[in-house]
Structure 1
Amino acid sequence: MVVLSLDAGGNPLAQGSGVAIAPGVVATNCYVIRDGASCKVRYQGQDYPVRLRDTDWRRDVCSLDVPGLPAPPVVLGDTASLKVGATVYAVGAPEGLELTLSQGIVSGLRDLEGGRYIQTTAAISHGSSGGGLFDDQGRLLGLTSFYMGGGQQLNFALPVEWIGTVPQRSVRLPARGLSEVDWLNRYAVLEAKNDWRGLLTVSQAWVKAQPGSAWAWAGLGEAYIGTGEHAEAIDAYHRALKISPQLAGAWYNLGIAYEDAGRNAEAIEAYRQALKINRQLAAAWINLGGACSRAGRNAEAIETYHQALKIDPQDPKAWYNLGR
């Protein structure tokens, strides 16, 4: 369905997409409606008045009350079990064309608080923002949020889990300046291109603008790993984890930074912390196995590779390292 943001005179300011998550309730990206005096939803050629329900400006997820909307609610999935390579479908209303469908795969995942940020090859275009990304069972995985056109198509979606937390995190007034998701989108584009110097510049600006953001500090840590500045990476990850100790991805990357710095015992502890939070993080099991092997703890290494293979029996790195 189409979500239209209107000025004080009722004229369209911005256009996006939306997903029915309950009878008469639609989820979309906050930035689609942020600058409007009012908004409306267009479904199957008919316009419906809208009342703003809940707003999580930081995460760019908003819900709208749309009385009388006949759209059936979607089935909610999750990102916890999602894997790179999984087939996904983006459904939105680019240029106002409802139920426009594109197919692709999950090309990247990033652990965030309460869910995983999705990079996909499923095409997203102008007006698709706020639409749905679905798995091959028709379950909603996230809200399509951002795309970068040109020679390299980079498309991103916010995790479906964030929709359920909007009522608890609702803030009535929009935040000034860039949201954390705005910064994250900028960062993700440079990360996909392996532009480490660009990442460092953006993440330093992000930390300066939002020093209380764990994502910003974790992004800075990743940029420092890419530029080979291990001590700085370790410090940045510790700052991120002080703010949000449950970021499994930050613990995992802290382990990588410790390994790069030759601090193997601390790397082992960091990987174990990551796995306490998310036991399905196969890469952490593999890296933990490598660190245990370097410490001469081969029995433990063997067990970690078996754990990784329970998660992904086709992982060649886990099989190779297990053989070693």
Structure 2
Amino acid sequence: MRSRLAVSCRLLFLLLVLIAALPPSALALTASQVYEQVKDSVVVVKAYDQTGKPVGLGSGVRLPSGDVITNYHVVKGGGRYTVGRGKQGVPATLKAGDPDKDLCLLTAPGLTAKPARLGKAARLKVGEPVYAVGAPQGLELSLSEGIISQLRGGPPPIIQTTVAFSPGSSGGGLFNAMGELVGITTFYLKDGQSLNFALPVEWIGEIAGKKIRERPFEWAGPPVPIEPKGPGARPQAAWLDRGKAFENARDWPGLLAHSRRWTQAEPGDPSAWFSLGVVYGKLSRHREAIEAYREGLRLNPDDAFAWNNLGDAYANMGRLHEAITAYWGSLRLKPDYVNAWCNLALALALSGNRSAALGAVKELRRYDPQKAENLFNLIMKP
């Protein structure tokens, strides 16, 4: 009996070793399997002022600790909170948080949601599949899938992904292919072409026990200068958030002032230079946009979006050959980038190279047949 038990234990040990040695891709779940595994961990978060008026709506994720993690901006201005599913919600209390990281913890003793399993954003790789689960506008849960497109800053990094977020999904979960929570979805840049961001799950441990303190600025209002925070500080989420507020309001002078302050405070952050390039483009200051994008690409040459936008700036100045080179730089990094294929085809056509333009259209057809057809008709038009 003992010998049989010893053999069984050895076999079990070997099996566990073999499983541990498998690459993550071998353990990957399908999108539907991820959804089934995590759907009971995602809840709707609602915030009300002292009069009972709704002031915030978003998503949240139940943690192994029993708390619910969500974005700070979802609950900002609230005095009473509920968490739950659909129209059903239980009272919650604001427990801890950090407005600069745009994260907070709620405790809800009556909540029966299933805790999510935690992963690590620091282990993510560009190109890895991820899945966002949230409750847009407080309705039924939805699943969106995409890949990691950039890992910014860190460790742990802020996660940039191609997963499509929508209003009301803020505070939802970003999960890896094993169904582990790796990030908290926070916002998208409307004019930024799939620039969707999630905050790393490791930040949850950093905010636990932090007393809520208000920011020295209004969430969507004009920014004030940020004091240098020294090595190890991670203000990028705050900078990105305020930039988004200016962009949504189409306040380009405000965004310009904000982006300049950002590059001065964090000159080594490529996102700061990207923001500056975007606003220079909006103001038709294309030469300065080129300088900003080139500085950002010096810091991070693997940003496909910056290469594409650099191409746009060159094209707007009539520097088509440089634009074509930049678009190819974007597509080498992200071969399925539809906008870059469109821009490349147009730049090639305008430069007089119709055959190369049609070759770009042919490649575009693999990713967006309708846009390819429209471009083909435009290029072939007498």
Instruction: Please report the TM-score for the alignment, with normalisation by the length of structure 2.
Output: 0.52
* 1:90 aligned residue: 135
Tell me by how many angstroms 1:254 deviates: 0.3
Partner Cα distance (1:221, 1:321) in 2: 29
* 1:115 aligned residue: 160
Tell me by how many angstroms 1:219 deviates: 0.9
SS at match of 1:296: coil
1:19 aligns with 2:64: no
Change (3 A) 1:74 1:311: farther
Partner Cα distance (2:350, 2:320) in 1: 8
Choose which of 314, 318, 321 in structure 1 pairs with 2:378.
321
**Aligned partner letter, 2:353:** R
1:230 aligns with 2:299: no
Change (3 A) 1:158 1:254: closer
Partner Cα distance (1:206, 1:24) in 2: 37
1:262 aligns with 2:315: no
1:208 aligns with 2:264: yes
Change (3 A) 1:59 1:48: closer
Partner Cα distance (1:256, 1:42) in 2: 44
Q: Which runs of structure 2 are paired with 1:45-124 in the superposition (5 Å)?
A: 45=90, 60=102, 70-72=112-114, 90-91=135-136, 100-101=138-139, 113=151, 114-116=159-161, 122=167, 124=168
Partner Cα distance (2:107, 2:127) in 1: 28
Partner Cα distance (1:50, 1:191) in 2: 31
* 2:171 aligned residue: 130
SS at match of 1:115: strand
Q: Is the contact made by 1:234 and 1:257 (CA closer than 8 Å) also made in structure 2?
A: yes
- Point out the more displaced range, 290-299 or 314-323: 314-323
Choose which of 184, 188, 210 in structure 1 pairs with 2:240.
184
Choose which of 306, 319, 322 in structure 1 pairs with 2:362.
306
Partner Cα distance (1:89, 1:47) in 2: 19
Q: Is the contact made by 2:82 and 2:90 (CA closer than 8 Å) also made in structure 1?
A: no
Q: Is the contact made by 2:62 and 2:69 (CA closer than 8 Å) also made in structure 1?
A: yes
1:286 aligns with 2:342: yes
SS at match of 2:365: helix
Identify unmatched segments of 5+ residues in structure 1: 5-13, 35-39, 83-87, 93-99, 135-139, 148-152
Higher strand share: 1
Q: Which runs of structure 2 are paired with 1:2-17 in the superposition (5 Å)?
A: none
Instruction: Please report the TM-score for the alignment, with normalisation by the length of structure 1.
Output: 0.60
Partner Cα distance (1:119, 1:205) in 2: 29
Change (3 A) 1:171 1:74: closer
What is the RMSD of the two structures over their aligned residues, measured on CA atoms?
5.3
Tell me which structure has the larger Cα radius of gyration: 2
- Deviations for 1:44-94, whole angstroms, at most 9, x for unmatched residues? 648799899xx9x98646899999985236799xx9899xxxxx96358xx
Identify unmatched segments of 5+ residues in structure 2: 1-42, 47-55, 120-125, 152-158, 176-180, 217-225, 227-234
Identity of aligned residues (%): 33
Q: Is the contact made by 1:50 and 1:67 (CA closer than 8 Å) also made in structure 2?
A: no
Change (3 A) 1:191 1:41: closer
Partner Cα distance (1:47, 1:199) in 2: 36
**Aligned partner letter, 2:378:** N
Q: Is the contact made by 1:280 and 1:311 (CA closer than 8 Å) also made in structure 2?
A: yes
Q: Is the contact made by 1:51 and 1:66 (CA closer than 8 Å) also made in structure 2?
A: no
Tell me by how many angstroms 1:120 deviates: 6.3
Change (3 A) 1:64 1:273: farther
**Aligned partner letter, 2:238:** D
Tell me by how many angstroms 1:170 deviates: 7.7
Change (3 A) 1:296 1:61: farther
**Aligned partner letter, 1:196:** W
* 1:29 aligned residue: 71
Partner Cα distance (1:193, 1:51) in 2: 30
Change (3 A) 1:65 1:47: closer
**Aligned partner letter, 1:210:** E
Partner Cα distance (1:170, 1:243) in 2: 29
Change (3 A) 1:265 1:102: same
Tell me by how many angstroms 1:228 deviates: 1.8
Partner Cα distance (2:93, 2:171) in 1: 17
- Deviations for 1:256-305, whole angstroms, at most 9, x for unmatched residues? 11112222222111111111111121110111112222333322211111
**Aligned partner letter, 2:71:** N
- Point out the more displaced range, 64-73 or 294-303: 64-73
